Amino acid sequence: MSTLGKHIILEMWGCCKDTIDNVEVVKEILVKAAESVKATLVDVVCHRFSPYGVTGVAILAESHIAVHTWPEHGYAAADIFICGSAINPRNAASYMTEAFYAKETSFLELKRGDFLSRTPQMAGR
């Protein structure tokens, strides 16, 4: 394995406002996103803001899935960071896109801990 993991930065527009403003629904989507990729769920924490918006984090043995919502804009932003190579984080991104009824999405996939392409440097430089 050349990297420690993959990190997806997912943006979702045109989401169902009622879905992304409901803390229980967002929590359920985080749980099911983890289940959809067979990740090991450690805990889920969600918070509903006033007057609207939800932030939630699913802590995984393999890392985390986090989401922040702006119902007034129909927008949700998610981070999906999965360590190792056994789980494809794109599958969790696809699940969340469908669950939030996003009409438009974009994502950026980053390699985390990419040791093979790293140029060795001296300590402190």
Catalytic residues: 63, 68, 83
Can you read off the two tokens belonging to residue 45? Answer: 């924490």
Return the bridge partners of 70, or none.
75
Can you read off the two tokens belonging to residue 71? Answer: 């119902």
**How many Cβ atoms sit within 10 Å of the Cβ of residue 17?**
17
Stretch (H or E) spanning 96: helix 89-99
